[in-house]
Amino acid sequence: MTSSAYATVNLNAVRHNIQVIRKRAQGARVMSVIKANAYGHGLKRIIPALTEVDGVAVARVDEGVVCRLGGFIRPITVLEGFICKDELLKVQKHDLNVVIHDWHQLELLKQCQIEKPLSVWLKVDTGMNRLGFAPEEFAEVYNFLSHYPGIRQPISLMTHLSSADLLDRPETHQQIATFKKLTDGLPGDKSIANSAGVIAWSEALSDWIRPGIMLYGVSPFAHKTGEELGLRPVMTLHSSLISVKKIQPGQRVGYAGTWECNEPTVLGIVAIGYGDGYSRYAVNGTPVLVNQIPATLVGRVSMDMIGVNLGLHSTARAGDPVTLWGEGLPVENIARYANTIPYTLLCGVTQRVVIKTTQV
Ligand SMILES: *Cc1c(COP(=O)(O)O)cnc(C)c1O
């Protein structure tokens, strides 16, 4: 028994989700996205479960270095590329592939001697207006990179979809059409789809797909859970009841008394709070499982604790197990109650939460 919150990360669920991704990929190679400490699951913990993927993608150079030193031997792509000479050197030293998205990076290439051939993805901004060259700039950059000494040929080509999780919007068709118009007939590998692209936009499937959230068993869509897509949740967040007591009508719970009891019931206090990464924005009524039985959050989330309404006839006792999200309680639903997306909940689990690896 422990009064601390902990999380389990199930590597068999990762392996299962990779199989689901493969089936959907229709032969495309899979670059699993493991940026931000593998979406909060732990980069080094996840890597051993990635034997069936063709490559990985991270956001930052240093994350790529961790993957390489952690023993990952297939292609590692740094989605934000390098931003200084030092990073360009690290990229070469650790054999990382990089995304080229800004003129600044071309200047750095000119300033540095490239010792080992560098594999690059040229990124086109087809409408997201985050990273990438504008379609009008594409030809110039493409010509530069496809003749530049030290760059492995042919160069690869990518774009990113801004709204693939929204099924009724025209932007995605436009983005894919813009990308295809620029790149059709060019020799390098191409990549468009994130998880939502893989699931909902078959025209976005190309040589490589870049699923992230799916790998962790979570849906990219607001209207569907991962389970409904055949995925298994990888992370489950657990804690325990540390106090159980009866409360009466008129009593209020938590800071500012935002929840008022209207019939006699049993209140449980759970050792989880925003200090663990449980969102302070979760509202009254957010589902929680106590002994696998549904209960609801009542009152404001504190740093270390929450209140839960267990119902008048509850037999729960201090020490009993509580599930906050994961197996049996989709994190997608919790995100809805906290007015956020599951990505932020998974990434937001804090240092205090001990993560245990399981394979069930
Ligand atoms: C994060 C990211 C992905 C993965 O997105 P998911 O929605 O988690 O599948 C793919 N491509 C790029 C460029 C990204 O930044």
Q: Give the pLDDT band of residue 99 (cuts 50, 70, 90).
A: very high
In short, whether 195's Cβ falls inside 6 Å of ligand 1 is yes
Tokens of 357: 């690896």
Give the angle 269-273-279 at the CA atoms, nearest 5°. 125
Nearest alpha carbon, ligand 1 atom 6: 212
Placement of tokens 């039985």 in the chain: 293
In short, whether 37's Cβ falls inside 6 Å of ligand 1 is no
Nearest ligand 1 atom, CA 160: 13
In short, whether 8's Cβ falls inside 6 Å of ligand 1 is no
Which long-range CB contacts under 8 A does 243-252 form with residues at least 24 apart? 243/268, 243/269, 243/318, 244/268, 244/269, 244/310, 244/314, 244/316, 244/317, 244/318, 252/299
Q: Compute, in angstroms, the gap from residue 111 CA to the centroid of ligand 1.
A: 30
Catalytic residue among 123, 255, 278, 343: 255
In short, whether 277's Cβ falls inside 6 Å of ligand 1 is no
Whether 123 is a known active-site residue: answer no
Whether 44 is a known active-site residue: answer no
In short, whether 79's Cβ falls inside 6 Å of ligand 1 is yes
Question: What does the pLDDT look like over 125-176, one tens digit per residue?
Answer: 999 999 999 999 999 999 999 999 999 999 999 999 999 999 998 999 999 9
How confident is the model at residue 113, as a pLDDT? Answer: 87
Which residue from 17, 24, 33 has its CB within 8 A of the most atoms of ligand 1, so it is best to mutate?
33
Q: Compute, in angstroms, the gap from residue 106 CA to the centroid of ligand 1.
A: 24
Nearest alpha carbon, ligand 1 atom 13: 160
Beta strands in the chain (DSSP E): 6-10, 29-33, 55-58, 76-78, 97-100, 120-123, 156-158, 190-191, 208-209, 235-247, 252-253, 259-260, 265-270, 287-290, 293-298, 306-309, 321-325, 354-358
Nearest ligand 1 atom, CA 131: 13
3: pLDDT strictly greater than 80: no
Question: What does the pLDDT look like over 273-318, one tens digit per residue?
Answer: 999 999 999 999 999 999 999 999 999 999 999 999 999 999 999 9
Nearest ligand 1 atom, CA 210: 10
How confident is the model at residue 89, as a pLDDT? Answer: 95
Q: Give the pLDDT band of residue 216 (cuts 50, 70, 90).
A: very high
Tell me the one-letter amino acid at 218.
Answer: V
185: left (phi over 0), alpha (psi -120 to 50) or beta: left
d(Cα 329, Cα 317) in Å, to the nearest integer? Answer: 21
Question: What does the pLDDT look like over 58-76, one tens digit per residue?
Answer: 999 999 999 999 999 999 9
In short, whether 33's Cβ falls inside 6 Å of ligand 1 is yes
Q: Give the pLDDT band of residue 1 (cuts 50, 70, 90).
A: low
How confident is the model at residue 184, as a pLDDT? Answer: 97
Which residue from 130, 210, 224 has its CB within 8 A of the most atoms of ligand 1, so it is best to mutate?
210
